[in-house]
């Protein structure tokens, strides 16, 4: 990898390793959610929870705090660089995972999970920022799809790992898995991660400057509809994740096969991300994501009709899998489009967008999860509503037109990225 920063030259990375490392950073956050899912019932029993839906807070609190924490790593990275922020966040991740393992009550567990989520926010913001340092436009969408495809290995195997740990040593040791993975990723990042921030793009740590940069990101019409639309679609996904163990494992009777089903869905989503990486540069991020959003709404609506009439697990799995696959074509492309205008303030832009997307998504996901009534109807109804809301927001950003392949107006044209930022 070539970089304007001398530190990058001391830590050269090929594209394959770069994609794998970015995926590993995001995977730490995914691991913090997915490996816990089979353990929610055991935690509820062990810590004597009166309300069975309270177990969802283990996921919901983590997500909300990660969204709140997203406001900070981007601004710090714009000043001090990407590498120090990444290493600090991983170190804190390891420490909070240990605190979760020794928590003696549900309240202490939630507090530790909240701090873990806050530090984990850098695991999502920094890969977005580093990718924007290196690429723009459809090339960024392609690379983000490859990252997403790679880190989707975690949702495939994490629930099965959690289930296996439960069978032998109990749920507290699941956090030991998190600590171990954190140590490995920290060592890899320490030895190999280059600094990608261009020296000319460093921003001062001043509230006025940071606030101005974030406000600029929020005011850019070509980006606003995409990152806010992504928040609604992600909120529906979080709603499914929050209640997946209850819905699939208990209502549909999957039991110990729940991790296999959850992992199978993740495998298909990974294949969808790979397909997106192959077609996005040919057709453009807008055309691909707009088509996927329309299909997402259609499939969710059809699935809702089936759910209203009563369905078995054999109908639920394929219909939900197809609907979720559309998210693979939406997420990476929406992210690339929304970050396109912000080469010089990629960290601040990634932070505020991640904040909006994660906090709003987590809040919606918690509401959707708490609405669980023993059927898939609340989740599917939310998917339809969130998809339609996302479509309205995209139409706002695109001035009422879909399927265009154009460079967004605004900041990016006035401040193009420096040459030599690609592999």
- CATH number at 128 reads 1.20.1250.20
Which secondary-structure segment (H or E) carries 410? Answer: none
The total of structural domains in the chain comes to 1
| Alpha carbon distance 200, 359 (integer Å) | 31
Q: What is the model's pLDDT at position 9?
A: 42
Query: 417 in a domain, yes or no?
Result: no
Specify the 3-state DSSP secondary structure of 104: coil
Q: What is the distance between the alpha carbons of residues 174 and 176, in angstroms, rounded to a whole number?
A: 5
Residue 372 lies in a domain: yes
SS3 220: coil
- Does 230 fall in a domain? yes
- Residues contacting 108, CB < 8 A, separation 6+: none
DSSP per-residue letters across 239-293? HHHHHHIIIIIIIS--GGGHHHHHHHHHHHHHHHHHHHHHHHHHH-HHHHHHHHH
Which residue from 318, 313, 303, 307 is spatially nearest to 387, judged by alpha carbons?
303
Question: What pLDDT score does 296 carry?
Answer: 95
CA distance 303 to 380: 7
Q: Per the domain annotation, does 416 fall within a domain?
A: no
Residue 418 in domain = no
Report the alpha-carbon distance of residue 257 to residue 278 in Å, rounded.
32
Domain range for 350 is 7-409
List of the chain residues with pLDDT < 70: 1-12, 50, 137, 151-152, 155, 205, 405-423
**Residue 82 placed within a domain:** yes
pLDDT at residue 137 in the model: 67
Helix (H, G, I), strand (E, B) or coil at 385: helix
pLDDT at residue 384, as a whole number: 95
Tokens read off for 251: 């209502």
- pLDDT at res. 8: 38
Express each pLDDT in 296-329 by its tens digit.
999 999 999 998 887 788 888 899 999 988 988 8
Contact 126, 73 (CB under 8 A): yes
Q: For residue 1, is it within any domain? A: no
Residue 162 is assigned to a structural domain of this protein = yes
């Amino acid at each position: 990898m070539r970089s304007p920063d001398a530190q990058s030259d001391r830590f050269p990375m090929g594209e394959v390793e770069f994609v794998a490392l970015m995926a590993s950073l995001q995977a730490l956050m995914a691991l913090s959610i997915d490996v816990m899912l089979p353990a929610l019932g055991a935690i509820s029993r062990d810590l004597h929870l009166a309300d069975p839906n309270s177990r969802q807070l283990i996921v919901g609190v983590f997500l909300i705090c990660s969204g709140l924490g997203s406001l900070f790593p981007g601004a710090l990275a714009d000043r001090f660089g990407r590498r120090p922020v990444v290493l600090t966040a991983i170190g804190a991740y390891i420490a909070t995972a240990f605190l979760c393992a020794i928590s003696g009550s549900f309240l202490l567990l939630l507090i530790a999970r909240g701090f873990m989520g806050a530090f984990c926010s850098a695991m999502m913001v920094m890969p977005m920022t580093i990718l924007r340092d290196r690429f723009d436009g459809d090339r960024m969408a392609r690379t983000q799809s490859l990252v997403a495809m790679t880190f989707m290995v975690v949702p495939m195997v994490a629930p099965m790992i959690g289930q296996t740990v439960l069978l032998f040593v109990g749920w507290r040791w699941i956090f030991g898995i998190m600590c171990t993975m954190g140590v490995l990723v920290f060592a890899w990042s320490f030895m190999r991660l280059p600094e990608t921030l261009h020296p000319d793009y460093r921003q001062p740590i001043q509230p006025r400057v940071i606030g101005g940069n974030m406000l600029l990101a929020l005011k850019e019409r070509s980006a606003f509809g995409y990152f806010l639309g992504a928040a609604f679609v992600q909120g529906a996904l979080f709603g499914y994740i929050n209640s997946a163990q209850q819905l699939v494992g208990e209502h549909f009777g999957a039991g110990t096969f729940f991790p296999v089903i959850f992992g199978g869905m993740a495998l298909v989503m990974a294949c969808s991300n790979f397909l997106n990486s192959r077609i996005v540069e040919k057709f453009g991020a807008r055309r691909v994501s707009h088509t996927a959003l329309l299909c997402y709404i259609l499939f969710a609506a059809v699935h809702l009709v089936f759910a209203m009439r009563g369905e078995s697990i054999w109908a639920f799995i394929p219909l939900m899998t197809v609907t979720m696959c559309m998210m693979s074509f939406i997420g990476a492309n929406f992210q690339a489009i929304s970050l396109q205008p912000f080469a010089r303030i990629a960290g601040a832009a990634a932070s505020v967008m991640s904040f909006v997307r994660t906090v709003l998504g987590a809040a919606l996901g918690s509401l959707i999860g708490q609405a669980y009534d023993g059927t898939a109807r609340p989740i599917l109804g939310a998917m339809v509503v969130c998809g339609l809301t996302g479509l309205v927001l995209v139409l706002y950003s695109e001035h009422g037109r879909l399927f265009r392949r154009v460079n967004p107006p605004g900041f990016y044209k006035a401040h193009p990225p420096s040459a030599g930022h690609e592999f």
